[in-house]
Amino acid sequence: MTRAAPTTLRPASAKEVRDAVLDTPGRLAISGAGTARRWAGRPAEPDATIDLSGLSGVITHNPGDMTVSVHAGTPVRELQEQLAEHGQRLALDAARIDRGATVGGLVATADAGPSALVYGGMRDLVIGTTTVLADGTMVRSGGHVIKNVAGYDMAKLMHGSYGTFGPLVEVVLRLHPAPKATACIAIDGPVDAAAGHVQRLMASPLEPIAAEWVSGDPGTLLVRLEGGVDTLPVRTGRLLELLGDGAREIGPEGWARHAALTGGTPGQPDPAQVTVAAGPAGTSATAVAGAGIADPAGSGAADPAAGAVVRIGCAPARLAPLLAGLPATAVTAGLATGVATVTVPGAAVAEVHEAVAAAGGTSVLRDRPDALDAPAWGPAPSALALLKAVKTQLDPEARFAAGRFDPWM
C-alpha cells in the first residue's frame, strides 16, 4: 500500500497541538528546529509531522525568582538574548544552540554542553513541563519553584524521550545569574596528558565551569572559569600556575571549534590530522583527515561509510583510555564529566557501541549521513521492559516517534 505523503502541521498554541494530536490519525513525528533530526534511531515514516517551531516565545519571566516559562519551540539562542537583558541566563551551552536548537528539542534529546560539569544538563534546569499525550491529555508537572517534590517529576520522563511520549508544549526553567567575567585557558597535549591536568584541576579548589579536551595535533584542553571582574584574574593566574608550561589564556573563540566538532556535521570531521592518544610502542591511533569521507559537500548521502557522530558517557577516569582505543577522527571530551562526542567512520559505529559498553558506559548515534545504516544505540538497558511498560501506559498505540529507540522498541 502506498502511503500518502506525510502532512506537516504547524500549531501555534498548546491547544492547537492538542487538536493536531486528536484530529490526526496514525503515527506522528515531532520536530522543532530540526537540529537533531538524524539523532538516535531512524524515525519511521510518520503519517504527519507536528512542527513546533511556531510555538515560540517567553510566556512568563520572573526575574526575581529566576524562573522562566517558555513555549517548547523557543530557540534557546533567542531566549538567552532576552534573559541577558536581566543579567540572567539558562546555564546550558550545548553546541547546537548556535544552530537554532529549541528548548523542547534540547529536553527531548537530553542534550548538554561543557558547563554540565557544574550546572548539569537540561534535566537539572527544567522545573516544569506541559506535554500532550496521544489521547489528547495535557499533562502538567512541576511549577515555578526550584524546590518541589510534589508528585512525579514528569519533566525527567520527557528528558531523553525523543518525543516518545508526546510533544512538549511548555517548559519552565530555572535560571542562573550571568557571570560577570569569564576566562578561557588552553593547554596543548594529547588526551592522556589532558586527563592528568583535569585530575589535578578537580582536586584543586579552582571550581572550573568546564574542562574539555578537543582533538587536533596534538589536541587542546580548554578550561573555563567564571567569576567577578576583579577576582577572576587572580583565579586565572592560579589556574595557569597549576597547569604549568604551555598553559595560556585565550579568547572565547577557543570554544567555537569545540562547538563545531561537537555539532559534528556528518561527513566533515576535523580537517586537522587528529591524534587521540599516542598509544604504546608507536601504535598511535592517529587518523588521517577525511578518513572515510566520500562526500565533501557534507550530505554524506553517497557513502554509508562516511563519518558519524557518537555521543558517549562513562566514568570520567575511564574516558581517556576508552577514547584512545576508538577509531575517532574528531573528539571533544569532558574529562571531568565522562561525556564525549566522537566522529568515527560510519562503518565503525557498532564497534564504538561495543567498546563503550565494555567500559561500562553508554552511547548513542547522533549526526550521521542519511544513508548510513548503523545501530543507533548500544546494548539495551536492564530497565527496557520498564520503559516499554511506561510507554504503553502513555502511548498505547505507539503513535509518537516510532523508530527513535530502534532496535530496543
Partner 1 sequence: MDPRIRSEFVTLLGAADVIDDPIRTRTYECDGLTSSRVVPELVLLPRTADDVAGCVRICARHRIPFVARGAGTGLSGGALPVARGVVIGLNRLNRVLEVDPDNRRAVLEPGVTNSEITAAAAPYGLYYAPDPSSQQVCTIGGNVAENSGGAHCLKYGFTTNHVLSIEVVLPDGSQVTLGGDSAEQQGPDLRGVFLGSEGTLGIVTAVTVRLLRTPEVMRTLLADFPSVAAGGQVVSDIVAAGIVPAAVEMMDALAIEAAEGATGAGYSLDTPAALVVELDGTVEECEEQFAQVKEICDRHGCTRLHVAGSPEERANIWRGRKAAFAAVGRISPDYIVQDGVVPRTRLAEVLERIEEMGVAAGLRVANVFHAGDGNLHPLVLFSAAEGQTERAEHLSSQIAELCVEMGGSLSGEHGIGTDKACSMPAMFGEDDLAVMDRVRAGFDPDHICNPGKLLPTPRLCGEKPGRYRPHPLEEAGLIERL
> What does the DSSP 8-state code read for residue 259?
H
Nearer to partner 1 (CB atom), residue 8 or residue 137? 137
**The only residue of 1, 4, 5, 149 in contact with partner 1, by rule CB under 8 A:** 149
Of 5-13, 43-51, 97-105, 379-387: span binding partner 1 (CB under 8 A): 379-387
Q: Give, as ranges, the residues between 54 and 73 that touch partner 1 (CB under 8 A).
A: 62, 64-67
Size of the site for partner 1 (CB under 8 A): 89
Smallest CA-to-CA distance from 407 within 383, 382, 374 is with 374
Smallest CA-to-CA distance from 184 within 245, 125, 122, 227 is with 227
> Do 146 and 174 meet the contact criterion of CB atoms below 8 Å apart?
yes
* Residue 84 binds partner 1 (CB under 8 A): no
Nearer to partner 1 (CB atom), residue 162 or residue 213? 162
Output phi, psi for 23, to 5 deg: -90, -10
Nearer to partner 1 (CB atom), residue 159 or residue 368? 159
> Do 336 and 316 meet the contact criterion of CB atoms below 8 Å apart?
yes
* Residue 345 binds partner 1 (CB under 8 A): no
d(CA 206, CA 146): 26
Nearer to partner 1 (CB atom), residue 296 or residue 407? 407
* Residue 44 binds partner 1 (CB under 8 A): no
* Residue 165 binds partner 1 (CB under 8 A): yes
> Do 215 and 274 meet the contact criterion of CB atoms below 8 Å apart?
yes
Q: Give, as ranges, the residues between 302 and 331 that touch partner 1 (CB under 8 A).
A: 311-318
* Dihedral over Cα of 241, 243, 244, 248: its sign: negative
Of 14-22, 68-76, 287-295, 354-362: span binding partner 1 (CB under 8 A): 354-362
* Residue 124 binds partner 1 (CB under 8 A): yes
CB of 151 to partner 1, least distance (A): 6
Of 48-56, 94-102, 119-127, 209-217: span binding partner 1 (CB under 8 A): 119-127
Radius of gyration of the chain (CA): 21
**CA distances from residue 48 to 131, 151, 199, 206 in whole angstroms, order as listed:** 18, 33, 49, 51
